Structure 1
Amino acid sequence: MKAGSLREFILDNLRAGRWRAGDRLPPERSLSDQFTLSRGSVRKVLQDLRGLGLIEQTVGSGTYVTEGADAVIRTLPAVRPAAVQTSPAELMEARITLEPAVLELVVAQATAADFERMDECCERAEAAQTLEEFEHWDGLLHEVIAGATRNSFVTGVFRLMNQARAQTEWGALKRRSVTPERRQEYQREHRRLVQALKARDLEQARSAALAHLEHVRRNLFGS
Structure 2
Amino acid sequence: MQSAQSLRHFILDNLRAGRWRVGDRLPPERSFSDRFGLSRGSVRKVLQDLRELGLIEQTVGSGTFVREGAEAVVQALPAEQVSQSSPAELMEARITLEPAILELVIANATATDFRRMDECCERAERAQSLMEFEHWDGMLHEAIALAAHNSFVAGVFSHMNQVRAQTEWGVLKRRSVTPERRLLYQREHRALVKAIKARDLDQARSAALQHLVGVRRNLFGG
TM (normalized to structure 1)? 0.63
Q: Which residue of 2 aligns with 1:186?
A: 185
Summarize deviations over 1:103-133 as a string: whole Å, max 9, x none.
0000000001100000000000000000110
2:104 corresponds to:
105
Deviation, structure 1 residue 159: 1.3
CA distance in 2, matches of 1:200, 1:164: 29
What is the aligned partner in structure 2 of residue 150 from structure 1? 149
- Could you report, residue by residue, the CA deviation over 1:170-195 in whole angstroms, capped at 9, with x for unpaired residues? 10000000001000000000000000
Q: Which amino acid aligns with 2:173?
A: K
Deviations 1:40-77 (A, max 9, x none): xxxxxxxxxxxxxxxxxxxxxxxxxxxxxxxxxxxxxx
- 2:89 is aligned to 90
Tell me which stretches of 4 or more aligned residues in structure 1 moved more than 4 Å: none
Tell me which structure has the larger Cα radius of gyration: 2
C-alpha separation in 2, matches of 1:148 and 1:87: 26
Task: Give me the whole-angstrom Cα distance separating, in 1, the residues matched to 2:81 and 2:140.
Answer: 20
The structural deviation recorded for 1:84 is 1.2
The amino acid that maps onto 2:220 is: F
Distance 1:82 1:106, change over 3 A: farther
Partner of 2:115: 116
Q: Counterpart of 2:133?
A: 134
Gaps (5+ residues) in structure 2? 1-16, 19-78
Query: 1:83·1:160 contact (CA, 8 Å) conserved in 2?
Result: no
Aligned 8 A contact 1:96 1:214 in 2: yes
Alignment partners' CA distance in 2, 1:165 and 1:109: 26
Residue in structure 1 matched with residue 204 of structure 2 by the alignment: 205
Structure 1, gaps ≥5 residues long = 1-10, 13-80
Measure, in 2, the Cα distance between the counterparts of 1:211 and 1:82: 32
SS in 1 for 2:148: coil
Q: Percent identity between the aligned chains?
A: 76
Task: Give distance in 1, aligned partners of 2:144 and 2:86.
Answer: 23
Q: Tell me the CA shift for residue 83 of structure 1.
A: 5.9
Taking the aligned partners of 1:82 and 1:133, their CA distance within structure 2 comes to 27
Residue 200 of structure 1: how far off its partner (Å):
0.0
The question of whether the paired residues in 2 share the 8 Å contact of 1:84 and 1:163 is answered with: yes
Q: Is the 8 A contact 1:82 1:160 kept in 2?
A: no
8 Å contact kept, 1:196–1:204:
yes
Whether the 8 Å contact between 1:83 and 1:164 is mirrored in structure 2 is no
Counterpart residue number, 1:25: none
Aligned residues: 146
TM-score (ref. length: structure 2): 0.63
**1:139-189 residue CA offsets vs partner (Å, 9 max, x unmatched):** 010111111101011011111111100101110000000001000000000
